[in-house]
Amino acid sequence: MPTAECNGLKIAYEEQGSGDPPFVFVHGWTCDRTTFAPQAEYFSRKHRVVSLDLRGHGESDKPEGDYPISAYASDIAELTKQRNLGKAIVVGHSMGGITALQVAADYPDRVAAIVMVDPAPMKPPAEQQEALEGLVAATKAGQKEPREDVITNLMFLPTSDPELIEQVKTLMMGAPDTIAAAAMQGIIDFDGPSVAAKCKVPALHIGAAQPLNPPHVMSEVIPEVVNAQTVGGGHFNQLEAPEQVNLMIEAFLKHYVN
């Protein structure tokens, strides 16, 4: 697996395909690059595609300490520079969705457009904030059940494939407790409205069947955002409804980017 040294850390990535504009796929909390496998395979037929493991995740370095969203964005900007990607379509899921937004805000010269696939909350209500803080505390204490409950009961639909649920749970629960807690704290600390105010590139939001961010919230923080929603897909809608997600991204490029 190739790696690039970004901000003193080894960041693992895969690269495939050719053609412009290039794509960068950014996974979510305690996941890795494989959660965008259907999209990487599809878009690499006509585009250059880079899928990476964020710091603390997958095969990338896992330092102890804080994991702010801005650190992921800095790593991605450095990786795109090293790989000579120019301006890329940055596609992120969940935590990766708000990371894509951060990249667009901080490094506009690296981004042609962003796609946020059911991104983490932009403006979480107080009760949701408290629940996330409770999850951080439980994870720091080494408690596994709260994380498992969130994955199984909140990230999927009653109609979701049990085998897929188990695969995702195994992947996410494989993350060290310290990294999982620090990464979730980074999500909590993310100031969505402030970061969104600096985003000047085309943006697509693909919500799940029960989106973490209702369309009106996304439109409040990013007035020009294009809102879309999958049918029959939970939080991991890029895995549960890959054809829908792929076609939405394709249409977005055709009508709003090119």
Instruction: CATH number of the domain at 55, please.
Output: 3.40.50.1820
162 within some domain: no
pLDDT band at 91; cut points 50, 70, 90: very high
The pLDDT of residue 233: 95
Give the whole-number percent of the chain exceeding pLDDT 70.
100
Flag whether pLDDT at 87 surpasses 80.
yes
Domain span holding position 89? 3-123+190-257
> Could you count the other beta carbons within 10 Å of the beta carbon of residue 240?
23
pLDDT digits (tens, 9 = 90+) for 46-78: 999 999 999 999 999 999 999 999 999 999 999
> Is residue 174 included in any domain, yes or no?
no
Q: Is residue 207 part of a domain?
A: yes
What is the structure's pLDDT at 124? 86
pLDDT value of residue 130 = 93
67 belongs to a structural domain: yes
For 118-138, the pLDDT digits (tens) are 999 998 888 989 999 999 999
* Confidence check: pLDDT of 258 > 90: no
Query: In the structure encoding, which two tokens stand for residue 163, read together?
Result: 């085998």
In the DSSP assignment, the letter for residue 53 is P
Q: Is the residue at 227 inside a domain?
A: yes
With respect to residue 147, please indicate whether it lies within any of the assigned structural domains: no
What mean pLDDT is predicted for residues 94-111? 98
The verdict on residue 155 lying in a domain is: no
In-domain check, residue 55: yes
Could you tell me how far CA 203 lies from the centroid of its own chain?
A: 14
Instruction: State how far the Cα of 74 lies from the Cα of 52, in Å rounded to an integer.
Output: 13
Residue 19 — pLDDT band, cuts 50, 70, 90? very high
pLDDT at 125: 87
Please tell me the predicted confidence (pLDDT) of residue 116: 98
Q: How confident is the model at residue 190 (pLDDT cuts 50, 70, 90)?
A: very high
Q: Which amino acid does the sequence have at 69?
A: I
Q: Tell me: pLDDT of 85 over 90.
A: yes
Banded pLDDT at 167 (limits 50, 70, 90):
very high
Number of domains in the chain: 1
- Calculate the CA 191 to chain-centre distance: 16
Model pLDDT, residue 49: 98
State how far the Cα of 183 lies from the Cα of 26, in Å rounded to an integer.
14
Is the separation of the CB atoms in 100 and 115 below 8 Å?
A: yes
Given a cut of 80, whether residue 252 has pLDDT beyond it is: yes
